Structure 1
């Protein structure tokens, strides 16, 4: 059954995966409105519920094993649904096992380091799922569309040449290879939103008072660079989807389906890791058995000596008068 589920998830996400070495033309290769033949939102909600339960199970194992960490990189244009994806997909996991980092305009301190430094400082620990809401890929997206940001990074003249983007692609690939070689899986999700759907979401942020705070005039200015961003995304996907850290292009026009896809990709990664609860030694088992007998003797009169075992269908003797045997 587990193998069947794993195979089903792998098949479901395969159309979303950017095959390493391929050249991506985003508008031609990936449909933002794709729904994998699922017609009703209700079906998607049921799938998402199952995905959330799977993530909760595997996240507990990941934390207990304390060997692997998982880094989730979320990239999208404004109104792409990053916040909602995090909120819904991670709704069933233990908050203590998840960290979320959002990266905005770099500070003066961050600009005094190499461009990957601030991201390296927020990497997850072993046993943890770390989410980058925008990630190190901003350095080949926003910085590329707005090259004036490159000037602020205080690079030597030789490091600002025409090969800067190809060099950064190579450096990012090598950094992610280093992370995965050391037990930190990298999950990369690009939420692919259509231009018309972005327009509709912007208008909703204006029309609904409770959403006004989410809207900024800067969002519209960035929308004017739509074609530039589409080229930058296409080049990024082409250059940085690798065997050890492939990109998945998540159709984002239907929020519910995008969340199903994000949960499936993360679930696929955790299934591949297959974390296990640690096995205790024979000596520890003997110590546990000794402690259990002592706790059973402390059962008050009329109470089950082991309430958990009784609830699991394994009746235990009741406590005697005085509460101890």
Structure 2
């Protein structure tokens, strides 16, 4: 199977989404790809234990994508071998009344991972420069003191919000959070097929909402906003990765491989050594237990 390189998917300069493929040929069949994913996720699960024991880094994984891009199944399949004590998944939906009474980053800030743990954001703080940018009227619901009307949701407003997001990520990175941001890059045609499957398969009907079709009509606007957000916020300490998402097994493998290959570059992440006195008396402790 074709080996992949982190740099093939990392955004290191301005991109145009229309020029980035939504498919990637790994040169292998589905079963082989799934077997390779299983191998990588087992390694990730083992390394998670080391990160937990080391206790100095937190890992934040942000997953964004259009509806049906495969976010839920991505999370289920990539993190299947993780110890549940070390990972929390947060699915951010429409803000609650409590959340609206705080600034837009508050609910994300309190969901950040502790050192030694992983947090996965299923939809992220970027919704605040994506959905709200496509539907700027939503900003009025935030009850901001300097936004009196829709006219105040202008270019200067978005410039300020992007700066706030970059500052937020820079701050947590400087304090030990390793940040991954994955955009699941889905084609419009594949989204159509997946929406049809939701409608045609009874067990998937619950996932469908008429609003899905309304949002689909805004596809080009969403692509424009995603492209701008990615270009404005992909940094060395918080990079974006564009993941071809038309084939789910391929997308899952690429994400898992990027996570593992990046994390093992942190050579300082090692399990702590036992206290010298305890280490010197291990045989005694073993004998004490064996002789009970």
TM bracket, shorter-chain basis: over 0.9
The offset of 1:242, in angstroms, is 0.3
Measure the CA separation in 1 of the matches of 2:123 and 2:98.
Answer: 19
Question: Map of 1:79-228 to 2, 5 A cutoff?
Answer: 79-157=68-146, 160-228=153-221
The offset of 1:129, in angstroms, is 0.8
Q: Indicate the residue corresponding to 2:14 in structure 1.
A: 23
How many residues are paired up?
286
Counterpart contact for 2:136–2:153, Cα < 8 Å: no
Deviations 1:53-106 (A, max 9, x none): 110111010111111110000001100000000000001111111100011111
Moved more, 242-251 or 169-178: 169-178
Q: Indicate the residue corresponding to 2:52 in structure 1.
A: 63
Measure the CA separation in 2 of the matches of 1:171 and 1:265.
Answer: 27
Q: Indicate the residue corresponding to 1:14 in structure 2.
A: 7
Measure the CA separation in 2 of the matches of 1:127 and 1:291.
Answer: 28
Q: Indicate the residue corresponding to 1:32 in structure 2.
A: 22
Measure the CA separation in 2 of the matches of 1:161 and 1:207.
Answer: 41
Measure the CA separation in 1 of the matches of 2:224 and 2:198.
Answer: 27
Measure the CA separation in 2 of the matches of 1:259 and 1:179.
Answer: 26
Question: Map of 1:219-298 to 2, 5 A cutoff?
Answer: 219-274=212-267, 275-298=269-292
In structure 2, the residue corresponding to 1:115 is in which secondary structure?
A: coil
> Over alpha carbons, which structure has the higher Rg?
1
User: Structure 1: which 4+ aligned runs deviate by more than 4 Å?
Assistant: 158-161
Counterpart contact for 1:74–1:135, Cα < 8 Å: yes
Counterpart contact for 2:64–2:182, Cα < 8 Å: yes
Q: TM-score, normalised by structure 2?
A: 0.94
Q: Indicate the residue corresponding to 1:304 in structure 2.
A: none
The offset of 1:160, in angstroms, is 4.2
Q: Indicate the residue corresponding to 1:49 in structure 2.
A: 38
Q: Indicate the residue corresponding to 1:319 in structure 2.
A: none
Q: Indicate the residue corresponding to 2:65 in structure 1.
A: 76
Counterpart contact for 1:187–1:269, Cα < 8 Å: no
Tell me, which stretches of 5 or more residues in structure 1 are unaligned?
1-7, 299-325
In structure 2, the residue corresponding to 1:289 is in which secondary structure?
A: helix
The offset of 1:287, in angstroms, is 4.1
- What do you get for the CA RMSD once the two structures are aligned? 1.6
In structure 2, the residue corresponding to 1:75 is in which secondary structure?
A: strand
Q: Indicate the residue corresponding to 1:307 in structure 2.
A: none
Moved more, 277-286 or 95-104: 277-286
Tell me, which stretches of 5 or more residues in structure 2 are unaligned?
none
In structure 2, the residue corresponding to 1:91 is in which secondary structure?
A: coil
Q: Indicate the residue corresponding to 1:303 in structure 2.
A: none
